[in-house]
Structure 1
Amino acid sequence: MKKLFSFALLVWLSFSMSACKREFLEVTPAGKLIATKTSDYDLLLNSLTLGNQFMTYTQAMGDEMAAIEPYYAGTTIQQQRSFQWADIIYEQNDDAPEITYPTKALYIYNIVIDEVLSSTGGSEVQKNTIQAEALGGRAWTYFQLINFFGKPYVAATAATDPGFPIIDKANVTLKSFSRASVKEVYDFIIKDLQAAIPHLSASPLHRFRMSRPTAEALLGKVYLSMGLYSEALPYLNAAMTDIINSSYPVRLYDYNVTFGSGGSFLPNSVIGPTLPNLYNYEESLYSRQTTGDWTSTSNALLLSPATMSLYGSSDLRRNFMKNTPYPSGTAFPLGMARRAGPFSPIIGMLVPDVYLMRAEVKARLNDLPGAKNDVESLRIKRMPASDAPVPAAIISDRISLVKFILDERIREFSALGYRWLDMRRLSVDSEFQSTVKSTHTLYTTGGTVSSTFTLRPERLTFKIPPKVLAENPGMQDNP
Structure 2
Amino acid sequence: MILSFIMVSVILPKVVYAQYLLTRIASPLVLMYLFKTKSMKVSSTYLYIVSACIIVLAASCKKSFLEVEPKGFVIAGTADDYGRLLTNASLLNISANPQVILGDDIIAIKSYFDAATTREQRLFRWEDEVYEAEENAPELDGLMTNIYLYNKIINEVMNAEGPEAQKKSLRAEALTGRAWTLFLLINFYGKPYNPATATHDAGFPLVNTADVSLTSFSRASVQEVYDQILGDLETAINDLPAKLSVRLRMSRPLGKALLGKVYLFMQQPEKALPLLNSAFDDLAQSAISVKLYNYNQTFATGGAFLPIATLGGPAIPTHAVNEENIFSRQFSNTYGYFVNTFVMSPAVSKLFKPGDLRLKFYSTKAYPSGNLPAGAYRRIGPLLTQVGFVLPDLYLLRAECFARNGELSKATDDLLTLRKNRMPATEAAIPADTSADKIKLLSFIMEERQREFAVQGYRWFDMRRLSVDPLLANTQSAHQLMTADGIVSASYSLKPERLVLRFPRKVMAQNPGMNNNP
Coarse TM-score class (shorter-chain normalised): over 0.9
Deviation by residue 1:133-155 (Cα, 9 ceiling, x = unmatched): 00000000000010011000011
Matched, 1:388 2:428: yes
Larger radius of gyration: 2
- How far does residue 55 in structure 1 lie from its aligned partner after superposition? 1.0
Quote the residue 1:362 is aligned against.
402
Contact kept? 1:243, 1:251, Cα under 8 Å: no
Select the residue among 20, 27, 35 that pairs with 1:31.
20
| Residues 18-417 of structure 1: pairs in structure 2 closer than 5 A | 18-21=7-10, 24-25=13-14, 29-31=18-20, 35-120=76-161, 122-271=162-311, 272-330=313-371, 332-417=372-457
Deviation by residue 1:303-347 (Cα, 9 ceiling, x = unmatched): 1111000000000001011000011223x2222111112211111
Structure 1 residue identity aligned to 2:132:
E
- How far does residue 49 in structure 1 lie from its aligned partner after superposition? 1.3
Give the 3 Å change call, closer, same or farther, for CA 394–174 of structure 1 in structure 2.
Answer: same
SS at match of 1:276: coil
Distance 1:301 1:201 in 2: 40
Distance 2:234 2:264 in 1: 16
Distance 1:269 1:28 in 2: 44
Distance 1:394 1:335 in 2: 25
TM-score (norm 2): 0.87
C-alpha RMSD of matched pairs (Å): 1.8
Give the 3 Å change call, closer, same or farther, for CA 369–71 of structure 1 in structure 2.
Answer: same
Identity fraction in percent:
45
Give the 3 Å change call, closer, same or farther, for CA 444–194 of structure 1 in structure 2.
Answer: same
Contact kept? 2:217, 2:514, Cα under 8 Å: no
Contact kept? 1:256, 1:382, Cα under 8 Å: yes
Select the residue among 487, 490, 500 that pairs with 1:448.
487
Give the 3 Å change call, closer, same or farther, for CA 124–326 of structure 1 in structure 2.
Answer: same
Deviation by residue 1:259-283 (Cα, 9 ceiling, x = unmatched): 1111111111222111211212111
- How far does residue 430 in structure 1 lie from its aligned partner after superposition? 2.5
SS at match of 1:279: coil
Contact kept? 1:15, 1:30, Cα under 8 Å: no
Number of residue pairs matched?
463
Structure 2 residue identity aligned to 1:408:
E
In structure 2, the gaps of 5 or more residues are 22-73
Give the 3 Å change call, closer, same or farther, for CA 282–401 of structure 1 in structure 2.
Answer: same
Contact kept? 1:147, 1:421, Cα under 8 Å: yes
Select the residue among 464, 467, 474 that pairs with 2:503.
464
TM-score (norm 1): 0.94
Deviation by residue 1:50-70 (Cα, 9 ceiling, x = unmatched): 111111111011111111121
- How far does residue 47 in structure 1 lie from its aligned partner after superposition? 2.0
Contact kept? 2:103, 2:460, Cα under 8 Å: yes
Contact kept? 2:245, 2:286, Cα under 8 Å: no
Give the 3 Å change call, closer, same or farther, for CA 308–317 of structure 1 in structure 2.
Answer: same
Deviating above 6 A after TM superposition, structure 1's stretches of 4 or more consecutive aligned residues are: none
SS at match of 1:66: strand
Give the 3 Å change call, closer, same or farther, for CA 438–21 of structure 1 in structure 2.
Answer: closer
22-31 or 257-266: bigger deviation: 22-31
- How far does residue 87 in structure 1 lie from its aligned partner after superposition? 0.8
In structure 1, the gaps of 5 or more residues are 1-13
Deviation by residue 1:58-115 (Cα, 9 ceiling, x = unmatched): 1011111111121111211111111111111111122112211111001110111111
